[in-house]
Amino acid sequence: MTGPDHEKFVGYASLYAVGALNAPERLEFEQHLELCRPCVDEVMDVLPVAQGLAQAVPLREPPVSLRTRVLEHVTGKKAPLTETDTARPATAGSPVRPVSIDEARGRREERARGSRIGSILFGLAAAACLVAAAGLGWFASDLLNRNRALQQSLEAEVLRANRAALETQTTREAVTRAEATVAILTAPDVVVIALAGQPVAPQATGRAFWSPSRGLVFTAANLPALPANRVYQLWFVTPPNPISAGLLSLDNQGRVATTIPVPANLTAPVTLAVTIESAGGVPAPTGEMYLMGQPPAPRPAD
């Protein structure tokens, strides 16, 4: 049965799972979860996937010195040797050991006990579960355990498929481009520049996502079809002379989306413009301007 005001919370389960609710929204939703079985189901569905995001990051090796610093700071005692120092070759990281049948059975029994007594939702206060009583806890735990086990059984298959895909160079390159684009769009310092259509093409629009640290993604739409032997050229409008940012290739609907290298001397976003030029491009703009936009004024801190 859905809880009261359910319509208001459609889509909240996913936002909750990826941490996209602000504090009041989160509180409100957790109160709703006490009463709404479908919302609990949805959280259970997506929570393990969202938590998988924590592991889907590029692997980065910590400095060796960090271990001593952390252990001594936290416990106030001298750090003990690593397992690596005493027992195994230099492969720090997740130690793996074989598991016996007895151990595996013990673990399953332990998990079954844990399921009955505990709430499994991170961040859901224990008190919130009392309303729903033991039935919900069992139901939700069961689902989560099924999800977990399912994911475990998938690992080998997905790994194989993933590797096969990565074997072709074209896939690698496509992935690289997508990664670079995502990195720019999600950069903490990204600035969005809206480019407006100029009098020759008032319907044209453009957007630039410019991260000084990561690069520039440029998109445009509704650009008029080009006459023969003409191209659209993008410019960094810097005094005294604009610098070419390259030629734009349109799709058949007048759209473009591309990653643009930023010259090293441009440390902050500048005005961007698109002009029409002779095929092959020109060193300085000569043709009519189709799009133009300036970076927004820096925002005050919030």
Partner 1 sequence: MWLLGAILDAGGAGTLQAASAKPTADQDVVQRMANGDAGALATLYDSQIRAVFSLAFRIVSDEAEAQDVVQEVFAQAWAQAGRYDPARGSVSSWLLTMTRSRAIDRLRARRARPESTRLPEDLAVVDLPDPARGQEHAVLQDEAANRVRAALQELPLLQRVAIELAYYEGLTQSEIAERLEQPLGTVKTRIRTGLLKLREALAGESAS
Residue ranges in 66-105 that form contacts with partner 1 under rule CB under 8 A: 66-67, 69-71, 73-75, 77, 79-80, 82-84, 91-99, 101, 103-104
> Is the torsion defined by CA of 196, 198, 204, 207 positive or negative?
negative
Binding partner 1 (rule: CB under 8 A), the pick from 8, 114, 168, 286 is: 114
Contact letters for partner 1, residues 116-135 (x by CB under 8 A): -xxxxxx-------------
Nearer to partner 1, 268 or 284 (CB): 268
How near is the Cβ of 168 to partner 1 at its closest, in Å? Answer: 12
Binding partner 1 (rule: CB under 8 A), the pick from 1, 4, 7, 61 is: 61
How near is the Cβ of 217 to partner 1 at its closest, in Å? Answer: 10
Binding partner 1 (rule: CB under 8 A), the pick from 2, 3, 205, 212 is: 212
Contacts (CB under 8 A) with partner 1, residues 151-210: 151-159, 161-163, 165-167, 172, 175-176, 178-183, 185-186, 188-190, 192, 207
CA gap 210, 192 in Å, rounded? 6
CA gap 110, 218 in Å, rounded? 54
How near is the Cβ of 265 to partner 1 at its closest, in Å? Answer: 15
Q: Are 212 and 269 in contact (CB under 8 A)?
A: yes
Instruction: List strand residue ranges (DSSP E) for the chain, in order.
Output: 191-197, 205-211, 215-221, 230-237, 243-248, 256-260, 271-278, 289-293
Rule CB under 8 A: say whether 63 interacts with partner 1: yes
Identity at 210, one-letter amino acid code: W
Nearer to partner 1, 11 or 227 (CB): 11
Binding partner 1 (rule: CB under 8 A), the pick from 1, 4, 7, 59 is: 59
CA gap 123, 16 in Å, rounded? 10
Distance separating the N- and C-terminal Cα atoms of the chain? 40
How near is the Cβ of 276 to partner 1 at its closest, in Å? Answer: 26
CA torsion, points 294, 296, 297, 298, in degrees to nearest 10?
Answer: -130
Nearer to partner 1, 87 or 225 (CB): 87
How near is the Cβ of 286 to partner 1 at its closest, in Å? Answer: 32
Nearer to partner 1, 131 or 182 (CB): 182
Burial pattern 253-284, b for ≥16 Cβ within 10 A else e, equals ebebebbbebeeeeeebbbbbbbbbeeeeeee
Contacts (CB under 8 A) with partner 1, residues 248-267: none
3-state helix, strand, coil split of the chain in percent (to 5) is 40, 20, 40
